């Protein structure tokens, strides 16, 4: 009995030992199998590996340092915040732009503690939430803690482009647009001064030409007639420029608001342009309500549609159709009234993708236009759309230029706020 117990214990013990050995073997398998392949002893190899890793680390550190130096030296501002909106790092330019002198490298502070810019904070939050690069422009007002400094404070027009990084960090590039803005204003101002100076002599030239026109005999007469046309064109251009400048500088320039019925206004514009349209056998269609009342400046609104339809006619292929669609849409927020959306769609050549962001700029002519100019000779001041945009903005509306997906032609969308009731009962006027 004792013997049996002893044998049983021995068997269990041996079994346990074998099992442990197997386990140990399996555990060491990856290590030993690797060691078989390597003929060198382990220690030197380990040393070699360590030096290699060290070298690699040094290289990486070096390149990191290089990048940081480059970023520090960059002409753009750069700053990076972590997931808690704490400033991790910023470069020299960013420090100058945002007046971050209080911040020292290595210090962990909330960005908002250092620069109280609601816009910048919003941009960073949005970038993190949407995980998409964002671009925003705003006027940054540095805050000062003493009154005399505030008197000569300089606000900056900033453009920030932000990028979501790993672990909820966000990187922001800052661009100082102030010099550009000032340059632009300076340019526009000097151009307007020039236009002012040109207007008076042009008027006198016109008077002289007018007197000549009546006194000259037929062969010379023709030349003077042409001269007259060109002078008129110049005067028109100068006047448009001055109008545009005036609209831009005084946002609430004299608009004489009255009740305007948009549909009949558009029809009358079309009638004015009919001779031009007939040369190319163009047709015109309108869809929408019969009467659309808005509060607007009649002559300015007329100018808007005149310029837009004139453009459509110029760029349309012969025998095409120009379509205008008008509808009243509910407002996007609760504060404002409903607005009127007018779509002007032609089936001409449309805008090229590269031109789309610039079509409302002064004197901007698309590349396509330049090409076409040689064949069909499209004349215009280059200010038409710029004036349209300014008028629409002065009315509190918006304007967009697109290409229509179906016709392939230009698609101009104008949205104007409506202050007039447009219910059927009040349509009797």
Partner 1 sequence: MDRTILNPETLILDVKKPIVKYKLVKAVFDDPHPDRSQLTRAIRHLEQDVLRMGALVEQSFRLSHQALFVRNLTAAEEIPRLDKKIDRFYRKIESDCTVIITLQAPTAQDLRCLSAFMQLVRDLERIGDYAKDLAEIAIKIFPYTPHPSLPEIALMSHHAQAMLATSLVALADLDAASGRHLKHLDDTVDNAYDHLYQTLAHQRDVPGVVEPILLLVLAIRYLERMADHATNIGQRVTYIVTGQRH
Which stretches of the chain bind partner 1, using CB under 8 A? 84-85, 102, 108-110, 112-114, 116-118, 121, 141, 143-147, 149-151, 251
- DSSP result, 375-417: HH-----S-HHHHHHHHHHHTT-EEEEEE-TTT-SEEEEEEEE
C-alpha closest to that of 416 among 316, 286, 329: 329
Neighbours of 224 (CB within 10 A): 18
Closer to partner 1 by CB, 106 or 318: give it. Answer: 106
Closer to partner 1 by CB, 81 or 391: give it. Answer: 81
Closer to partner 1 by CB, 142 or 380: give it. Answer: 142
> Minimum Å distance from CB 88 to partner 1?
12
Find out whether 355 and 382 touch, Cβ atoms under 8 Å: no
Closer to partner 1 by CB, 114 or 342: give it. Answer: 114
Distances (CA, A) of 216 to 15, 212, 222, 224: 130, 6, 9, 8
Type and span of the H or E element at 62: helix 42-73
Closer to partner 1 by CB, 140 or 241: give it. Answer: 140
Three-state SS at 228: helix
Looking up tokens 């009234």 gives 337
> Minimum Å distance from CB 166 to partner 1?
18
Type and span of the H or E element at 140: strand 134-140
> Minimum Å distance from CB 150 to partner 1?
5
> Minimum Å distance from CB 149 to partner 1?
8
> Rounded to 5 degrees, what angle do the CA atoms 217, 218, 220 make?
75
Query: What's the rounded Cα separation, in Å, for the pair 352 and 366?
Result: 7
Closer to partner 1 by CB, 41 or 251: give it. Answer: 251
Closer to partner 1 by CB, 109 or 298: give it. Answer: 109
Distances (CA, A) of 229 to 223, 225, 234: 10, 6, 9
> Minimum Å distance from CB 92 to partner 1?
22
Q: Which two tokens stand for residue 397?
A: 């509306």
> Minimum Å distance from CB 116 to partner 1?
4
> Minimum Å distance from CB 146 to partner 1?
5
> Minimum Å distance from CB 169 to partner 1?
15
Closer to partner 1 by CB, 39 or 108: give it. Answer: 108
- Residue partners of 116: CB distance under 8 A and separation at least 6: 143
């Amino acid at each position: 009995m004792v013997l049996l117990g002893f044998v049983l214990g021995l068997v269990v013990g041996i079994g346990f030992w074998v099992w442990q050995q197997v386990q140990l073997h399996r555990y060491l398998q990856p290590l030993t199998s690797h060691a078989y392949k390597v003929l060198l002893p382990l220690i030197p190899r380990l040393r070699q590996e360590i030096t290699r890793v060290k070298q690699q680390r040094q290289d990486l550190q070096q390149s990191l340092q290089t990048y940081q130096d480059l970023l520090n030296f960059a002409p753009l501002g750069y700053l990076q915040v972590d997931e808690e909106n704490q400033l991790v790092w910023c470069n020299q330019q960013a420090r100058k732009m945002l007046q971050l002198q209080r911040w020292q490298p290595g210090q962990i502070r909330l960005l908002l503690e250092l620069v109280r810019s609601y816009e910048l904070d919003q941009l960073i939050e949005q970038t993190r939430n949407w995980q998409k690069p964002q671009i925003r422009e705003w006027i940054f007002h540095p805050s000062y803690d003493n009154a005399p400094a505030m008197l000569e404070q300089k606000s900056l027009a900033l453009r920030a482009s932000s990028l979501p990084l790993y672990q909820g960090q966000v990187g922001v590039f800052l661009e100082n647009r102030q010099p550009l803005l000032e340059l632009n204003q300076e340019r526009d101002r000097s151009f307007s001064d020039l236009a002012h100076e040109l207007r008076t002599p042009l008027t006198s030239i016109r008077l002289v030409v007018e007197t000549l026109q009546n006194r000259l005999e037929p062969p010379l007469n023709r030349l003077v007639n042409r001269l007259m046309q060109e002078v008129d064109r110049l005067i028109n251009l100068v006047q448009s420029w001055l109008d545009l400048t005036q609209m831009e500088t005084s946002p609430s320039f004299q608009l004489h608001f009255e009740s305007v019925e948009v549909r009949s206004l558009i029809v009358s514009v079309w009638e004015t342009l009919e001779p031009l349209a007939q040369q190319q056998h163009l047709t015109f269609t309108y869809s929408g309500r019969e009467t659309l009342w808005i509060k607007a400046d009649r002559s300015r609104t007329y100018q808007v549609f005149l310029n837009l339809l004139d453009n459509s006619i110029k760029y349309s292929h012969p025998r095409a159709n120009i379509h205008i669609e008008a509808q009243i849409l509910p407002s996007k927020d609760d504060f404002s009234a409903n607005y009127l959306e007018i779509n002007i769609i032609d089936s001409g050549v449309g805008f090229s993708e590269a031109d789309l962001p610039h079509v409302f700029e002064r004197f901007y002519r698309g590349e396509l236009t330049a090409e076409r100019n040689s064949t069909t000779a499209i004349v215009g001041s280059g200010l038409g759309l710029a004036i349209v945009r300014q008028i629409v903005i002065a009315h509190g509306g918006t304007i967009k230029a697109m290409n229509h997906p179906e016709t392939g032609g230009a698609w101009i969308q104008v949205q104007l706020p409506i202050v007039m009731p447009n219910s059927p009962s009040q349509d009797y006027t």
